[in-house]
Amino acid sequence: MPPPPVAWSDADDARAAADGDRQAFQRLYRQHVDRVYGAVYRLAGYDHARAEDLTQDAFVRAWQKLADFRHESSFGTWMYRLAVNVALMDIRSRGAHPVGFVDDEHLPDPGEVPFCAAEREELERAVAKLPPRARAVLVLHDVEGWRHEEIASELDMAVGTSKAQLHRARALLRRMLQPGESS
Amino acid sequence: MNEFEWRRQLRELRAPVAPPRDLWTGIVAALEPAAPAARKSPRAGWLLAASFAGLSLLTVGLSLRQGQLLDHRQTTTTVANQTPWKPDDPRLAGAAIELDAARLELRQALEQAPNSPALQRLLSRTRQQQSRLRQLEQQAG
């Protein structure tokens, strides 16, 4: 009778990887890359090239910081937060050169814009066009489910600023999704 | 449609996404240069990376403009195994390897000086050059 397949847990792999075991780290990568990539991809405005770069950065940093991982949360949660932080650092570093500019002059009050049903791809395209910080706040709050306090802390802004950015992002998004809006 | 349904649509965007290509090769390549020696001399590493990135950008710019075939045999031999993306066009392939190596160096340098605007600008420009190369490859078919 053949031996049963060996099952590795994330915690075991994380400990082994912290000791330099690259195979263990590769298993962790395979296990978590889709979740990490998904979050980074959304924060990067659905730009695959940048998301690939940031995801690689995140895993390299994880490898370098594994010795500091205290196992207080699951590896997946730790890795996800680290990757989001890498993506947010990238947004902060591009502060003077926003990607995906949207003219928000004369922005209507969100209450004046009706909610419109949108196909998933249409919604993703609209999110991608948001200014980077507004997009980050919207993605973290409305998509990833973060609280304003967490967002403000990660983006180094006041909680009120995070709420204002979310308000602005939602208004922009709803305006872009209006029938006849092609921008 | 009401606000509740609209928010539900947004939450549905939260789904795992598989990268279009395997990123593991690039990650492994980036793990290699994390040598202790580089950490002992952050200033030297910083300057080396900045110089290397600047030189790479200059080389790529000149090569693309003049359409000359780049001859980077030595570099190619050293770095080829670390490059996750390699265009078929030899002119672009050489540039891609240079840029990838420059990007890795810059990331290391940013580990030492994460708030350096100069390094961040160089990294940003390197990424833009990589995107431009991808566009050129697509245009070339």
CATH code of the domain covering residue A114:
1.10.10.10
Do both A118 and A75 map to the same domain?
Answer: no
Q: List CB contacts (< 8 A) between A85 and chain B.
A: none
Which of these, A32, A35, A46, A49, lies nearest to A144 by C-alpha position?
A35
Chain segment B3-38, per-residue pLDDT in tens: 778 788 889 899 999 999 999 999 998 886 543 333
Domain end residue (candidates: A39, A63, A93): A93
CA atoms within 13 A on the CB side of B118: 9
Which of B2, B3, B14, B99 to mutate: most A Cβ within 10 Å?
B14
Name the domain count of chain A.
2
**Which amino acid would we find at residue B48?**
L
Compute the mean pLDDT over every residue in chain A, rounded to the nearest whole number: 85
Do both A22 and A69 map to the same domain?
Answer: yes
Do both A77 and A115 map to the same domain?
Answer: no
Residue A15, pLDDT > 50, answer: yes
Domain end residue (candidates: A93, A126, A155): A93
d(CA B50, nearest CA chain A) in Å: 17
Strand, helix or coil for residue B35: coil
| Residue of B28, B31, B120 with shortest CB distance to A93 | B120
Instruction: Using pLDDT thresholds of 50, 70 and 90, give the confidence band for residue B92.
Output: confident
Chain segment A42-54, per-residue pLDDT in tens: 999 999 999 999 9
Strand, helix or coil for residue B58: helix
Parent domain of A133? 110-176
Q: Mean of the pLDDT values across residues B91-98? A: 76
> Who wins on pLDDT, A97 or A93?
A93
Residue corresponding to tokens 């990294």:
B123
Q: Is residue A89 part of a domain?
A: yes
Interface of B with A in 114-133 (CB under 8 A): 114, 120, 123-124, 127, 130-131
Do both A170 and A137 map to the same domain?
Answer: yes
> Who wins on pLDDT, B47 or B25?
B25
**Which amino acid would we find at residue B120?**
Q
Strand, helix or coil for residue B22: coil
Do both A74 and A131 map to the same domain?
Answer: no
> Who wins on pLDDT, B105 or B21?
B21
